[in-house]
């Protein structure tokens, strides 16, 4: 579910020697990813990896697919697989840079993989290591822009990092808009990274509480990839937070139907649908459906990590239960 952030954006692999040769395969792999045909995407990037074993391109593609799947299904085993591939990318890319490579793509693979490593470490509570990896990754991406200032995927990742970092001090000086512009530059211009940037921009607008813009941005993604949960989760969240419960109910019912068909199922994802449908139907006056989804919330078992992510949302479910009695 969630924020298929900035750091996944392997879609920029379409320039450079290896990238030019494999451009059609990479595009097909990306289309499969956004269409949630993950096995097809894995097959494509595995083939690339096997043909370029001493280059990070294939490993990076596979790391990105498994990372996307890990977030999509809220599955730690899939995230662990992504870590293995990203570690290989880091190993190969560091060696190439140490030998003097100035290829911006190598800097991109390394910077993005280190940033992803930090993202994973943050999820496990290893915050010092997380920040160290992310800062190192962003440094390589900034070095990349010194080589090629037109490299949109790097701007998009850096923009996301700076946006969230500046949010910590926005009460002193709010410069988040300028960082959003870096993401928009990628999202609103035709380029291979566009739809990763669209997803990131959608979530940034939700964080920024600009819900109308978040919905508009989600529709860009859904026009290209109808029914893709990369954009449905964000669109539903934007409607819900904007208290447009009629629309959010439609989307969460749709997502719930899709979850039922998933190979990997997550009680956290189920809960997010049940919880928002419980609240949404209560707010539109359909108390029977609200009660139905309330009971669904209580029927689930959760891991400690699930409960941490759920946070105080269960308080809302308990409040509605009291109101329905």
> Which one-letter DSSP state was computed for residue 13?
-
Closest C-alpha to 183, from 209, 214, 229, 140: 214
C-alpha span between 141 and 11 (Å, rounded): 15
**Predicted confidence (pLDDT) per residue in 281-291, tens digit:** 999 999 999 99
The domains of the chain are located at 6-225
Q: How far apart are CA 311 and CA 85, in angstroms?
A: 31
Domain 6-225 has CATH 3.40.190.10: no
Whose tokens are 């937070």? That residue is 241
pLDDT for 6:
39
pLDDT exceeds cutoff 70 at 15: no
Does residue 174 carry a pLDDT above 60? yes
Contact 42/182 with Cβ under 8 angstroms? Answer: no
Please tell me what DSSP assigns to residue 264: S
* Confidence label for 164 from pLDDT (cuts 50, 70 and 90): confident
CA Rg, the chain, in Å?
Answer: 20
Quote the CA–CA distance of 102 and 17 in Å, as a whole number.
Answer: 13
8 pLDDT higher than 60: no
Cα angle 149-87-228, degrees, rounded to a multiple of 5: 70
Q: Taking residues 160-164, what's their average pLDDT?
A: 89
Q: What is the pTM of this model?
A: 0.90
Task: State both tokens at 105.
Answer: 């793509």
Mean pLDDT of the region 291-308? 95
**DSSP string of 149-213?**
TT-HHHHHHHHHHHHHHHHTTTTT---HHHHHHHHHHHHTS-STTHHHHHHHHHHHHHHTT-HHH
Per-residue b or e along 275-311, where b marks 16 or more CB atoms closer than 10 Å to that residue's CB? bbbbbbbbbeeeeebbbebbebbeeeeeeeebeebbe
What integer pLDDT is reported at residue 17 of this predicted model? 64
Tell me what pLDDT residue 23 has.
Answer: 81
Question: For residues 149 and 164, what is the distance between their CA atoms, to the nearest angstrom?
Answer: 22
The Cα 4–Cα 185 span in angstroms is 18
Mean pLDDT across the stretch 178-196?
Answer: 87
**Highest mean pLDDT range out of 62-71, 194-203, 233-242?**
233-242
What is the reported pLDDT for 190?
Answer: 79
């Amino acid at each position: 579910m969630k924020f298929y952030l900035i750091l996944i954006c392997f879609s920029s692999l379409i320039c450079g020697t290896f990238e030019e040769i494999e451009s059609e395969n990479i595009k097909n792999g990306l289309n499969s990813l956004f269409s949630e045909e993950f096995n097809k995407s894995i097959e494509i990037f595995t083939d690339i990896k096997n043909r370029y074993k001493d280059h990070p391109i294939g490993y990076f593609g596979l790391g990105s697919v498994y990372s996307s799947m890990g977030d999509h299904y809220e599955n730690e085993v899939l995230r662990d697989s992504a870590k293995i591939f990203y570690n290989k990318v880091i190993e190969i890319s560091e060696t190439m840079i140490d030998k003097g490579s100035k290829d911006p793509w190598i800097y991109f693979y390394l910077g993005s993989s280190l940033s992803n490593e930090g993202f994973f470490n943050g999820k496990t509570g290893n915050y010092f290591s997380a920040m160290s990896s992310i800062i190192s990754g962003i440094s390589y991406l900034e070095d990349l822009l010194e080589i090629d200032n037109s490299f949109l995927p790097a701007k998009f990742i850096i923009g996301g990092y700076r946006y969230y970092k500046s949010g910590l001090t926005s009460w002193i000086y709010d410069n988040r808009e300028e960082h959003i512009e870096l993401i928009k530059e990628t999202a609103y211009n035709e380029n291979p990274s566009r739809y990763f940037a669209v997803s990131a921009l959608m979530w940034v607008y939700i964080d920024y509480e600009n819900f109308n813009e978040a919905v508009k941005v989600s529709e860009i993604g859904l026009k290209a990839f109808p029914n893709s949960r990369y954009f449905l989760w964000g669109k539903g969240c934007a409607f819900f937070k904007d208290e447009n419960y009629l629309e959010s109910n439609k989307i969460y019912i749709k997502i719930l139907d899709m979850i039922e068909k998933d190979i990997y199922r997550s009680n956290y994802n189920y809960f997010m649908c049940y919880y928002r449908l419980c609240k949404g139907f209560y707010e539109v006056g359909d108390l029977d459906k609200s009660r139905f989804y309330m009971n669904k919330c209580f029927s689930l078992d959760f891991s400690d990590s699930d409960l941490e992510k759920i946070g105080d949302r269960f308080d809302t479910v308990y409040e509605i239960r009291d109101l329905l009695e």
